[in-house]
Structure 1
Amino acid sequence: MTTPDLLSCAQSDNLAAWVQAIGSILAIIAAALVARFQHIKTVELLEFERKRNRLESAKLFIEICRGCKNKLKDIQERIDQKYGDLCPVTDEISHIEISLAELEAFPLENLPYQFVCAAVATKSWLKKLFRILSNAKETPRMEMNELQVKIFTQTRTKFASQINGLTKALNLI
């Protein structure tokens, strides 16, 4: 072998080492980018799932409230027909009590944060309605006087309005 052949051989060995080194660096960079991309996608997916779960929780909360709203409307109609008599609506009152217990046990941290204050207010209105009904139910004749009927009607209207507000808040999320 002549000197130029050795030089070209040394240069080709050197070149191969450089190519391998550059290739290794690019492989490390590519692996880091792939890992970063996967991490970003995982975080986005978790955030999407969390938001979806919160919206589902909000829908469930509203459904429970709407069920109460319908029962309260039935109670109002029967009270108006029977002049405050609660005897025909004891099942509906029990339904309200069960729904109120469900709402009390409902984890507010599962709701969208924009929704929590309205949810707390809605539960408060339902508690007031249930208290009105419970107090009247405990009277000897299970009747509501004129003032109780008026307070019940006003509170039921506010409760219904609160549910409408919840629905609007859900649509904005």
Structure 2
Amino acid sequence: MNLENQENQENLLYRYLKSSHIKDSICWSKVCSAVEIENATPETFIHEAAFDLRPQEQDISFFNSTHKNETGRILDVLNELRFRRSGGGFSARSGVMKIDYITAQEDLNDIREVIRFEDNDRYVRSCRHFGLQIFASTDLDRLETVNALIELSSFFALKKTSGNPDKRDILQLTEQGKFFELAHNTPI
């Protein structure tokens, strides 16, 4: 089953979500392809903290991959983070969000510019860094912008498999509130 629609993959950006970026109210053991989570949407899982800047950051990191399929793009982004950018491991309870950045900019910047995604990678690689800047005059404006971005996104769970800290199941949240397994016991 291929869940990808006719999105232009050049416009797709991915952001790794560590455990603090995922809402605590979700029982992670229920995140599997056999269970439907009632009324589940990306907003159910993605915490607004996923858009917080760390000290000395100028923008929020997203990545674009040229791989042909969803699993390949997610793994490419994770490999970029692990081996070239941060060098660390991944949370046992983590995820990835995907957003079409052209659509997001068109939808949110209809009256004035409130967000900007920019390819600001200093390296020549197939997995490119895009920085997101949010231009908000108040905390409420920023929260509304972040919530709109989350609403426009897709969510993928990276669920640690038992017994191996470096393997994950990759599950995509569908529009029906179910998870579809893209990859099982995959090394990351």
Higher strand share: 2
TM-score by length of 1: 0.29
Higher helix share: 1
TM-score by length of 2: 0.27
Q: Highest Rg: 1 or 2?
A: 1
